[in-house]
């Protein structure tokens, strides 16, 4: 267990929010937040679109498909954003991919 | 009419000052609120409504020992219903399988469990409660079994600093996702016990090194928050993220404060939830507006490039050490009163004096 780096995520990974973390819309500030132990941090517009699709059943590949269709955007650009965000939030223990 | 300040992110709900432990660095004020003055359940439910309405995102149920309040599960359930993220800050000594399960069912999001040391003998002496460490170990086991995310909190001082590596090992063994290695802050009880608690610089550096090594070893599995003892810092800390900017604190008796030590500030009225709404107090009460932002600042803060990083440091520390709440925090190297810090470190006795334990009537 020494020096473990989180397994790299792929389009087949199916992430969900770890217990004790969630995505939440803040009506007062009119913005999305990631709620986590001891802190709530703001999710930017791109992160909020991605995280609203994270439900523990969708693979990252499916999320990428849905977003590139929704925004009529090139799939490779969406894929880069989605994988980078999922990787970052996994390292911060917000997302887990069993 | 000036613009309203942004709403607070977090509410620290100090449900009671009653606690089975007597830690000599307790963050509660020296004058503890007696049980008879505590807000009742209905009052807390209303406070949670008002907090959610004004934009609070997280509520930290704290104390004293918040599990001494039998209505805690009701308050947690209400917070969850209002979309508030709920965190329980507990000593763990009152946790049973039943009491924990009730809290989990009510929707509790996270538990922060305090430890006094990595070994029973010294931990029980610091807490002044026989058997407390064993109870905490059992509490941690129950929390892990319940699947609730767990942060362990260790308060560090000269009498336990050498065991920081053992504390980090313990946190890993107990399945914590986060651990806080927080050096003691010296207000209230901590200030009263400063000579018994303040580490020397070599001790501080050893704790920094232990944390750095553990961070590398545990990357991605356990995150470690480190709080430095600001007597040895170059710059003051941005206390509470700035006065009246991110946190709102409510005492057991319902006083609304910018931080848990603010009741030491002289010459100002302490507003209470029994007399005004949380939003009115946050937006307009003199206690909140007096040190919000940078307008109140003296020199050298006023012309300092870091004034919006550290917000002038800690007002309660300025009051305690420089005699004025609106002075530059003496911890700052540029502060006119900085010699107070240097003198304190120099005058630190070789042998720590006995603890003056935190309990009603002992200050």
Q: What span, in angstroms and rounded, lies between the C-alpha atoms of B332 and B89?
A: 30
Residues of A in contact with B248 (CB under 8 A): none
Residues of B in contact with A1 (CB under 8 A): 221
Shortest CA gap B220–chain A (Å) = 5
Q: Is the pLDDT of residue A4 over 70?
A: no
Q: Is A16 on the interface with B (CB under 8 A)?
A: no
B26 is in an annotated binding site: yes
In chain B, which stretches have pLDDT less than 70? Answer: 1-2
Q: What span, in angstroms and rounded, lies between the C-alpha atoms of A66 and A82?
A: 11
Residue B286: what pLDDT?
Answer: 96
Residue B13 CA: distances (Å) to CA of A9, B159, B255, B312: 39, 30, 10, 25
Q: Is B55 on the interface with A (CB under 8 A)?
A: yes
Cα pseudo-dihedral B297, B302, B307, B312, rounded to 10: -30
Q: Which residues contact B36 (CB under 8 A, 6 or more apart)?
A: none
- What's the N-to-C CA distance of chain B in angstroms? 43
pTM for this structure? 0.95
If residue B322 lies in a helix (H) or strand (E), which one and from where to where? helix B315-322
Q: Is the pLDDT of residue A6 over 70?
A: no
Residues of A in contact with B83 (CB under 8 A): 24
Q: Is the pLDDT of residue A14 over 90?
A: yes
Q: Is B347 on the interface with A (CB under 8 A)?
A: no
Per DSSP, the residues of B166-195 read: HHHHHHHHTT-SEEEEEEPP-SHHHHHTHH
Structure tokens at B48: 């949670």
Give SS3 for A7: coil
Q: What span, in angstroms and rounded, lies between the C-alpha atoms of B47 and B78?
A: 11
Residues of B in contact with A20 (CB under 8 A): 109-110, 148-149, 177
Bridge pairing between strands B178-183 and B223-227: parallel
**In sequence order, what E strands does B177-297 have?**
178-183, 223-227, 247-250, 256-257
Interchain contact, B57 vs A26, CB within 8 Å: yes
Structure tokens at A49: 């679109």
CATH homologous superfamily, domain A16-92: Coenzyme PQQ synthesis protein D (PqqD) (1.10.10.1150)
Interchain contact, A20 vs B178, CB within 8 Å: no
Interchain contact, B151 vs A37, CB within 8 Å: yes
pLDDT tens by residue, B28-69:
999 999 999 999 999 999 999 999 999 999 999 999 999 999
Interchain contact, B110 vs A4, CB within 8 Å: no
Nearest CA in chain B to A37: B110
Testing the interface with A: which of B144, B216, B220 to mutate, by most A Cβ within 10 A? B220
B160 within 8 A of B205, measured Cβ to Cβ? no
Q: Is the pLDDT of residue A1 over 70?
A: no
Q: Is B177 on the interface with A (CB under 8 A)?
A: yes
Provide the ipTM: 0.91
B19 is in an annotated binding site: yes
The mean pLDDT value for A69-76 works out to 96
Residue A2: what pLDDT?
Answer: 38
Shortest CA gap B80–chain A (Å) = 12
Shortest CA gap A8–chain B (Å) = 12
Q: Tell me which residue in A33, A90, A91 faces B57 most closely, judged by beta carbons.
A: A33
Q: What span, in angstroms and rounded, lies between the C-alpha atoms of B140 and B92?
A: 8
Residues facing residue B156 across a β-bridge: B183
Residue B2: what pLDDT?
Answer: 63
Residues of B in contact with A29 (CB under 8 A): 6-7, 55
Q: Is B223 on the interface with A (CB under 8 A)?
A: yes
Q: How many residues does chain B have?
A: 363
Q: Tell me which residue in B55, B58, B83 faces A29 most closely, judged by beta carbons.
A: B55
Q: Give me the numbers of helices (H) and strands (E) for chain A, helices first please.
A: 3, 5
Q: How confident is the model at residue A8 (pLDDT cuts 50, 70, 90)?
A: confident
Q: Is A35 on the interface with B (CB under 8 A)?
A: yes
CB pairs under 8 A between A and B: 66
């Amino acid at each position: 267990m020494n020096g473990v780096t989180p397994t790299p995520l792929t389009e087949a990974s199916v992430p969900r929010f770890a217990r004790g973390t969630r995505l939440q819309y803040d009506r007062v500030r009119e913005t999305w937040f990631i709620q986590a132990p001891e802190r709530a941090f703001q999710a930017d517009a791109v992160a909020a679109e991605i995280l609203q699709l994270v439900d523990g059943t969708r693979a990252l590949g499916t999320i990428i498909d849905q977003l590139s269709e929704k925004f009529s955007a090139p799939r490779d650009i969406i894929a880069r954003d989605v994988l980078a965000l999922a990787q970052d939030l996994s390292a911060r223990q917000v997302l887990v991919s069993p | 009419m000036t613009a309203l300040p942004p709403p607070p992110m977090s509410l620290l709900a100090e449900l009671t000052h009653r606690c089975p432990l007597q830690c000599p660095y307790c963050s509660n004020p020296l004058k503890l609120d007696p049980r008879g003055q505590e807000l009742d359940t209905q009052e807390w439910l209303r406070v949670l409504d008002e907090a959610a309405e004004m934009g609070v995102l997280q509520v930290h149920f704290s104390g004293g020992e918040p599990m001494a309040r039998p209505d805690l599960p009701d308050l947690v359930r209400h917070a969850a219903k209002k979309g508030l993220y709920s965190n329980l800050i507990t000593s763990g000594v009152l946790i049973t399988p039943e009491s924990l399960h009730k809290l989990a069912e009510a929707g509790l999001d996270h538990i922060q469990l305090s430890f006094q040391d990595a070994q029973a003998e010294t931990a029980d002496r610091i807490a002044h409660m026989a058997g407390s460490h064993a109870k905490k170990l059992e509490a941690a086991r129950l929390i892990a079994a319940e699947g609730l995310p767990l942060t362990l909190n260790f308060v560090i001082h000269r009498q336990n600093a050498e065991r920081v590596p053992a504390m980090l090992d313990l946190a890993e063994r107990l399945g914590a996702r986060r651990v806080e290695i927080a050096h003691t802050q010296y207000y209230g009880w901590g200030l009263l016990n400063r000579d018994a608690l303040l580490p020397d610089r070599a001790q501080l550096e050893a704790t920094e090194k232990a944390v750095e090594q553990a961070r590398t070893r545990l990357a991605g599995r356990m995150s470690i928050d480190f709080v430095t003892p600001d007597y040895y810092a170059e710059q003051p800390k941005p206390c509470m993220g700035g006065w009246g900017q991110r946190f709102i604190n409510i005492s057991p008796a319902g006083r609304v404060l910018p931080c848990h030590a603010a009741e030491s500030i002289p010459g100002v009225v302490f507003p209470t939830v029994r007399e005004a709404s949380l939003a009115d107090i946050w937006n307009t009460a003199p206690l909140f507006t007096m040190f919000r932002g940078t307008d109140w600042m003296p020199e050298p803060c006023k012309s300092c490039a870091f004034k919006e990083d550290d917000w002038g440091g800690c007002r309660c520390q300025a009051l305690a050490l420089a005699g004025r709440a609106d002075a530059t925090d003496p911890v700052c190297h540029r502060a006119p009163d900085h010699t107070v810090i240097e003198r304190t470190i120099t005058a630190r006795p070789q042998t720590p004096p006995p603890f003056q334990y935190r309990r009603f009537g002992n200050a």
